[in-house]
A and B are shown apart, each in its own frame.
Chain A
Amino acid sequence: MSTTPPSTARPRRGAPEPAVLVLEDGTILRGEAYGARGARLGEVVFTTGMTGYQETLTDPSFAGQIVVQTAPHIGNTGQNAQDMESRKVWVRGYAVREASRIASNWRSEGSLEDLLVANEVVGIAGIDTRMLTRIVRESGAMRGGIFSGEALEGADEAALVSRVAEAPAMSGASFVDEVTIPQPVVIEPDGEAIGTVAAVDLGIKGATPRAMAARGLRVHLLPATASLEELLATQPDAVFFSNGPGDPATADDQVALLRGVLDAGIPFFGICFGNQLLGRALGFGTYKLKYGHRGINQPVLDVATGKVEITAQNHGFAVDIPVEGQHDAPFGDGRYGKVEVSHIALNDGVVEGIRCLDLPAYSVQYHPEAASGPHDASYLFDRLVDLVRAHQASTAGKDS
């Protein structure tokens, strides 16, 4: 057995530095400072995944949020460049029960705490994360703040609570400009290209273009501000809208862009935020869930096959569409034809996917790209390839 030393040294022993987590309802949990010191305000949400903390932290959908990990031990395997799902950590504040003192994994390149400090994430450890989760479950996602270091010294509790209560709410919040890439990027396929996808980055995770590239698709990753012209200039065989943070009700520009794509008859696939935007483009509403779905154990029923897939989820909003039957898409005098719910969350019946019956467009609320999470839903990328091929066949016919 080789004896590679651990990648990070154990911290010195001593009295832990204090930190507090404050909720807008006045709840205060006292723990130890973890990651960067300072003050961070955001919507407090919990995620139940037992693996994949690094993917969670670097998932842009968590922008603006304080994430509570229900799994008690965090940081055990350190961090590495491969498991970054985007260029940085987006989580604003981080609450854990037990922060690992060392990183132990052959792929580890450093400690998680170093990553948190480098990304200025203020964290707290040693608190009753289960109690916090139960509060969020019962009262709904709410605003909170983590305070440590100078931000905590001499601070009066009431003042902290009112700072939290004055913070902006998630409803009506937009983070698209913050998370999207500034310039288009092309991700080349593994092997020979079989088609092109224009992917609009609303907070995309690295695993999504990887899944497409693995299937021979060239991905043009476009900023969220891309116009229809810019999008069509990539000559896409399909268009993709990614996941991302914030309230879908604020994304009017992207809804308009998506309608242009549907009108052009280009196949469309959306994930998470992209699903909500397809819903809105078709004329349905979206609404905020009480405390959302965040975890990698979420059962989803594929209505067409009756099969269950275990999925990764991270959403606080959902599309408002009746689960049963086929419905006329309300927008534009029925020009988008009929729509049905394709996937349903088995835990609570929330809509997890929609499919247009008269257009080559479908989307899911959950994360078939996984990372972190199970690979059960990867077939949805195969379906994208099928649509690309069908589109190529039909346009080839027109051209000739």
Chain B
Amino acid sequence: MPRRDDISSVLVIGSGPIVIGQAAEFDYSGTQACRVLREEGLRVILVNSNPATIMTDPDIADATYVEPIDPDVIRTIIAKERPDAILPTLGGQTALNAAIALEERGILAEFGVEMIGASIDAIQKAEDRQLFKGVVERVGGESARSHICHTMEDCLAAAEDLGYPMVVRPSFTMGGLGSGLAYDEADLRRIAGDGLHYSPTTEVLLEESILGWKEFELELMRDRADNCVVICSIENVDPVGVHTGDSVTVAPALTLTDVEMQRLRDLGIGIIREVGVDTGGCNVQFAIHPDTGRIVVIEMNPRVSRSSALASKATGFPIAKIAARLAIGYTLDEIRNDITGTTPASFEPALDYIVVKIPRFAFEKFPAADATLTTTMKSVGEAMAMGRSFTEALGKAQRSLDVTSAVVDYSGEAPDAAEVDRLLEASRIPTDSRLVAISRILRAAAEGVLDPDQTIERLYEATAIDRWFLDQMLLIAEVAADVRAAEHLDADLLRRAKRHGISDEQIGQLRGFSGDVAKGVREALGINPVYKTVDTCAAEFASSTPYHYSTYDQESEVESREKPAIMILGSGPNRIGQGIEFDYSCVHAAIALGRDADQTGGGFETIMVNCNPETVSTDYDIADRLYFEPLTFEDVVEIYEAEKAAGPVAGVIVQLGGQTPLSLARSLQEAGLPIIGTSPAAIDAAEDRGAFGAVLQRASLPAPPYGTAWGLEDARKVAAEVGYPVLVRPSYVLGGRGMEIVYDEEGLADYVSRNLPESGRAEAPILIDSFLDTATEIDVDALFDGEELYLAGVMEHIEEAGIHSGDSACTLPPVTLGEAVIERIRTSTRAIAEGVGVRGLLNVQYALSAGVLYVLEANPRASRTVPFVAKATGVAIAQAAALLMAGSSIAQLREMGILPGSGDGGALPEDTPIAVKEAVLPFKRFRTADGHAVDSLLGPEMRSTGEVMGLDTTFPLAFAKSQLAISGQGLPESGAVFVSVADRDKRGIVLPAARLAALGFEVLATAGTAAVLRRSGVPCQVIAKASEGGPDGSVLELIESGRIALVLNTPSGTHARADGYRIRAAATSMDIPIITTLQEFQAAVQGIEALPEGHFEVRSLQEHHAFLDGARASEVRA
């Protein structure tokens, strides 16, 4: 069946900001879909509030709306664009929920828009637990025994029948939000209570526990001729009980016979048909009892998902791309498999390698959060690795995580019996450190301290991880033990170690020398990895797509080439502080460098290296060659050597992927790799306080007084010299890891004691900066070619200095900065760029305090704000940066049209619309060990997972849009506002509170804040503090009863006071907008005032950029 000819335009809904459970994978799938639909000649209209994505690049869709994914806003877009169809299956649960809302409100019918890819009926059959149970029954499958409950009474009655433990799953939430395992009635009351709240249908499912069963997933596709294929099977190493997003998973499934696999396949196909996913992909999850083989269907997602992104990267079968084609009418056999170029897409990929995915967590950012892994997803990213065996893939995946503690450390002694007992006990509870603990236990078995068979049995009893996986981990431990015990490290043994994924670093630990020596020995023995190809067909057909992974095997498949190549090192797994924004820059580099030189490109062959399956950069379509490999010194050097043997390598880019590749810069350069762009020495100069201080001094630029310390004594001295409050942090960090504001010596001693190793001397110095209270923070992105500076964007933070820039909202153009300040920023940035020796991108953070522009820090690399600046100013600065690194000058880029012919991003036309970037925070994902919400306070340590952009004519409107985009509920238009502020904010609270009262809001305040307001004549009601209680109930009761529409609580003193914490935690639990800084509150009040009567106006990025281009052109003429 050819493509439908009755659809000529389609609205694609994206997934919005990156949040836990819904991350970069939807940028990958959405980008693929938009590109395919345009290739098919359709007009693509996109709505997605996330500016950090490739998907929202203006050349991915015809009309790109970086607007809130809200039914009213989408209605406005539909009314303006009049699409024929809407495709909601590529933007995660957010897009599906938006589509359901559009359908239910009659908006699709009103404008005659057809939903393609899925029907409301199918979505409901898949997502409504009761309906889905019927589906499973009709296809001859079994579900876990369960009860649907709408009230707590229902839940307690159901518990009588099911017994504890039982699983609680709210309906229609994403990433398993709000689900959990209840071991007793108290657990049930808490988890089910939250679940009833989070479920849009006030519905939870209670079901029999299948904890400890084997867990599997199938990715399926179906076309409109009812052809069904299974793209990939995935097995969870962690048994049922851990959310699949938090599980270590492997593809293909490794512990099932064909009989069981075909039973899963039959059930999966039966389910996709019965649910009625007419075209596109879905995943189905299964549990299998390890002793009886009883199969229980867990759930299905009738859409492209995180797993489908993983399956696409694991198999080379691009699910989202194919799903988009199926949605417009093609059948699978009409679509070509791009990897082979000859066979059709109507087949099931065969893998001749093993894929391991390991999630990456951010518990260090939320020390109060319970790190136990449960059925609620908590990971913030993932790494994937491929190898020709499970052992090899596992080792590669562990080192891909870029977390020291995730890699098995072979130094020191094997654990003694006491440690084994302790580790075994700990491994009963799934956590992110369990895998490494198991390896440590197995080391004792491999080194003869424990009996291997007994150890496997004890581990199986404790973890329910399949014995096959445990035996494979034992195999690694045994090979490691052989390496340790061998008299000589001969070629056979070393090759064996490499084949089982043991790194040079680990071999060094085993032999008592450094990783470099291990590398030297390996090379002297002629042992290097080869590169195999992901080809979808296990080599049955020739492949034309160079999608490679390394393995220690015999034959390499890297083809030789003529053109000089540039290697781009990606950013690895997403984490807080290093996310999709860096992937954006890497993708742009590949696009610009790979474009032909006569088409304003670099004319290079591009080579992408990355290990994050969620991203656009690891789509085999982006660079000319893709290496899905860990970003470690060992792995990168080997790729370089293999590529150098294949043809000339003109350069290696480390500047765009964040801290992960940047931290390799110096060692790669020493190993002879041609690092292009800012030199590793210059990168170090910017990081080194002394060297950077000298740069500032030479340029006469003021910086807040600072010092560095290695221990408590010198820290005290430095802090006293600098003057409290001080900002303290370890050097070499991204995302403000470990950064705190300390107000006095007591706080300093506390910080140092928590952050110093036992030796009392830090491994890297502690930086102590004077903290500029009440300063305006300014973030700048710029390009420098050695001669000319291009100021790309100047962002004014809404929060004052002290809140990490990644968590702070900001505006571009800056709302309150005058031309003189901008000019000072321009000259200062230029001086820094020149002083450091930047070639490419530079990010500088300034603080404007009492008229003085202080330099806080400079980072000679792509920053988190690059995509936001690019979208707000209409200039592809990451592409420009890549071309600068490869040798172009800013003057040339201006001529080529990559940069504007004149002017810069600091001098935008006067009536430029305001873009507001707002951070999205994951607090409601986490719970403390006793089940309460974690504190939602902002600080110098970054905690946000993603961001949105609000674009409108004025700041208040843009800010209001950004608030709607982050939560879906937006700023309240009426109701009660609760305010409770620290003493230092009491002056500032009066005006905004008065304004809210004038707008008809009921103002509630704690006694202290209320006194200030009353004296200023602001009508308000006094509410008892959380700890007090009173006749009208305490503030907690008011929040929990849902009576409050907005909470302002600013923290006082060094530590968040208990009262404030309880207020914030209650608001987080209830999903009530909570503001923790006065500045943001002021912005919110401005936004509330500006909320339009009818609906927000919308403007596409293309319109925005056309406006900017027009304004620039007329300025030139003038």
Contact = CB atoms under 8 A, between A and B. Distances in A.
Interface stretch (A65-73, A150-158, A233-241): A65-73
B254 A73 contact: yes
Contact of B351 (A50, A310, A371): A50
B668 to A, nearest CB: 29
B553 A130 contact: yes
Contacts of B555: 128, 130-131, 134
Contacts of A72: 352-354, 388-389
Contacts of A306: 225
A130 B539 contact: yes
Contacts of B457: 3, 5
Contact of B538 (A13, A55, A133): A133
A104 B466 contact: yes
A318 to B, nearest CB: 16
Interface stretch (B14-22, B285-293, B764-772, B1054-1062): B285-293
Interface stretch (A259-267, A291-299, A359-367): A291-299
A307 interface: yes
Contacts of B292: 106
Contacts of B471: 6, 10, 101-102, 104
B542 interface: yes
Interface string B530-543: 00100001111110
Contacts of A370: 262
Interface string A96-114: 0110111011110000000
A284 B290 CA distance: 51
A183 interface: no
A104 B332 contact: no
Contact of A1 (B253, B254, B464, B554): B464
A346 B254 CA distance: 28
A307 B252 CA distance: 26
Given A308-B227, A308-B346, A372-B258, A104 B538 contact: no
Contacts of A97: 352, 388-389
Contact of B259 (A4, A82, A301): A82
Nearest to A126: B499
Interface in A39-86: 46, 48-52, 54-55, 70-73, 76-77, 80, 82-83
Contacts, number: 190
Dominant SS at the B interface?
loop
A346 B344 contact: yes
Interface string B454-481: 0011001100101110010011001000
A232 interface: no
Interface in A226-261: none
A29 interface: yes
A59 to B, nearest CB: 12
B348 A308 contact: no
A38 B60 CA distance: 61
Contacts of A77: 255-257
A72 B538 CA distance: 10
A371 B351 CA distance: 19
Nearest to A103: B468
A2 interface: yes
B251 to A, nearest CB: 10
B134 interface: no
B269 to A, nearest CB: 8
Contact of A52 (B227, B230, B257, B474): B257
Chain A contact patch, size range: 35 or more
B344 A347 contact: yes
Contacts of A106: 290-293
B352 A130 contact: yes
A140 interface: no
Contacts of B388: 72, 97-98, 130
A105 B255 contact: yes
**Residue of B230, B346, B466, B478 ringed by the most chain A CB atoms within 10 A:** B346
Contacts of B352: 48, 70-72, 97, 129-130, 133
B261 interface: yes
Nearest to A98: B389
B468 A100 contact: yes
Given A51-B257, A55-B258, A72-B388, 18 more contacts: A5-B453, A48-B540, A52-B257, A76-B255, A83-B257, A98-B389, A104-B468, A107-B293, A128-B555, A133-B540, A297-B349, A297-B350, A299-B333, A310-B230, A371-B259, A373-B258, A374-B265, A375-B265
12 contacts: A1-B460, A6-B453, A51-B261, A72-B388, A82-B259, A131-B553, A134-B555, A137-B540, A296-B348, A297-B350, A298-B347, A346-B347
Interface of A: 1-6, 9-10, 13, 29, 46, 48-52, 54-55, 70-73, 76-77, 80, 82-83, 97-98, 100-102, 104-107, 127-131, 133-134, 137, 295-299, 301, 306-308, 310, 346-348, 370-375
List 9 tightest A-B contacts by C-beta distance, closest first.
A52-B258, A372-B258, A131-B555, A128-B554, A70-B538, A104-B468, A297-B348, A51-B258, A48-B350
